[in-house]
Amino acid sequence: MGRMVEVKSNQLTARKVATATKPGYYGDGGGLYLQVSKKYGSRNWVFRFMLNGRAREMGLGSPQTFTLKEARERARQCRQLVADGIDPIEERRRRRDEARAETAERMLRRGSLSRSSSEHLEERQTPTTVGQHVARLRQLSPRPSNLCNRRRSNYRRSYTNMDKEA
């Protein structure tokens, strides 16, 4: 039988979080750590966990953004995902991608995206050769930068023609 290990939690205090300046990891328990970096002394909340025999670290934000209480709550939610066998990092990516897709669909319905942009989103495939990259770029409508370059070249031509005539 496995043995029960008592996990110490809530080891950090708000005072310790505010005054931690020495580089390293300051553990709060339950996989929540305050990470102080060596180079710049920046501080971040980190959730460390094991999933499928692999050690992982997930950033939870800065102590300036999230209080100790909020970081503990976020770590608790991550622990629940790990207990269910779900990678919290992949879950966060999935949610972010869904939100981006929803935003793109909303913009498309409003007409904020041009027709060529919507076609590009629908046909979004990774080209495998340089030729496919070039073909994909040619399908897109002209970019404003290309229009500016054309105008600039026309502008230069008109002045060079004036010089020849004079």
14-95: CATH superfamily: Integrase, DNA-binding domain (3.30.160.390)
| pLDDT at site 101 | 87
Mean pLDDT within 36-56: 90
Give the mean model confidence (pLDDT) for residues 107-130. Answer: 62
Using 50, 70 and 90 to split pLDDT, how confident is the model at 139?
low
At CA 104, angle to CA 147 and CA 134, rounded to 5? 45
**Can you give the pLDDT at residue 29?**
87
**Contact predicate 31/78, CB 8 Å:** yes
Round to whole Å and give the CA distance between 96 and 100. 6
Among 115, 113, 68, 61, smallest CA distance to 92 is for 61
53 Cβ neighbours under 8 A, 6+ residues apart: none
DSSP-assigned letters across all residues of 13-82: -HHHHHH--SSEEEEEETTEEEEE-SSS--EEEEEEEEETTEEEEEEEE-TTTS-HHHHHHHHHHHHHHH
Q: Is the pLDDT of residue 70 over 50?
A: yes
The answer, yes or no, to whether residue 44 has pLDDT greater than 90, is yes
Structure confidence at residue 45 (pLDDT):
94
Comparison of pLDDT for 50 and 41, the residue scoring more: 50
Torsion of CA 141, 145, 151, 153, to 10 degrees: -110
